Chains A and B, each alone.
Chain A
Amino acid sequence: GAVVSQHPSRVICKSGTSVKIECRSLDFQATTMFWYRQFPKKSLMLMATSNEGSKATYEQGVEKDKFLINHASLTLSTLTVTSAHPEDSSFYICSARVGSEPGELFFGEGSRLTVL
């Protein structure tokens, strides 16, 4: 099946710094990617929808200046957590839409962010 890769899988940073997480579709082109946040033992919450070549669509309550999303190519979307704080510590997961059928989504392995 299609492969979506996230990097880094784990990152630890100091409070106040910015962290970039990459999401790549390795063997297909993804015009749309989704970014989720998952708290420990909790469900996935959609943060934003990333469309290649256009601005991301953020869900209500998600700070767009805090979580910068860029989808500059058909195989890469990035999530940058700016001026990270301990409350931003979480598991971030991306998914990419493969075809036109709903649910044809493949998920990345996730990235665990820890802000000290």
Chain B
Amino acid sequence: AQTVTQSQPEMSVQEAETVTLSCTYDTSESDYYLFWYKQPPSRQMILVIRQEAYKQQNATENRFSVNFQKAAKSFSLKISDSQLGDAAMYFCAYCQGAQKLVFGQGTRLTINP
């Protein structure tokens, strides 16, 4: 079974600085998708960024970018120019085939003003 591991339960960063959240996963598949979701205090999950495994180019969405290392099964999220509104729980997730998302344990990100 696929597993997703986030080894950082909590992270903090100064406003305007850059922070990287780690994620590793385990799968025997070659074609799959990886995601980072954000869960703010309102609790509603919001998609931050998506990466297709067959694409070598790292996905980027404005201040959010990923470092996808397929061989190492690593998928980290970099947040540049951190803003107070970035404070949330961040979940790494894996999806293959039937669109069942497998989530990591989550990383709570705190932004220090």
Footprint of B on A, CB under 8 Å?
32, 34, 41-46, 49, 91, 93, 95, 97, 102-103, 105, 107-110
Contacts and interface: CB of A to CB of B under 8 A. Distances in A.
Contacts of B98: 49
A112 to B, nearest CB: 8
A95 B45 contact: yes
A107 B44 contact: yes
A43 B103 contact: yes
Given A42-B106, A43-B104, A103-B101, 7 more contacts: A102-B96, A105-B99, A107-B44, A107-B45, A107-B46, A109-B43, A109-B44
A108 B91 CA distance: 16
Contact of A103 (B35, B42, B44, B104): B35
Contacts of B22: none
Give the most central of A32, A42, A43, A110: most B CB within 10 Å. A43
B43 A110 contact: yes
Contacts of B96: 102
B47 A105 contact: yes
Contact of A109 (B42, B50, B91): B42
B111 interface: no
A89 to B, nearest CB: 15
* A-B CB proximity, top 3 nearest: A107-B45, A102-B33, A43-B103
B95 interface: yes
Contact of B91 (A44, A91, A102): A44
Nearest to A108: B44
Contact of A43 (B42, B99, B105): B105
A116 B6 CA distance: 33
Contacts of A103: 33, 35, 47, 50, 95, 99, 101
Given A103-B35, A107-B44, A109-B44, A43 B101 contact: no
A53 to B, nearest CB: 17
Contact of A102 (B43, B44, B99, B106): B99
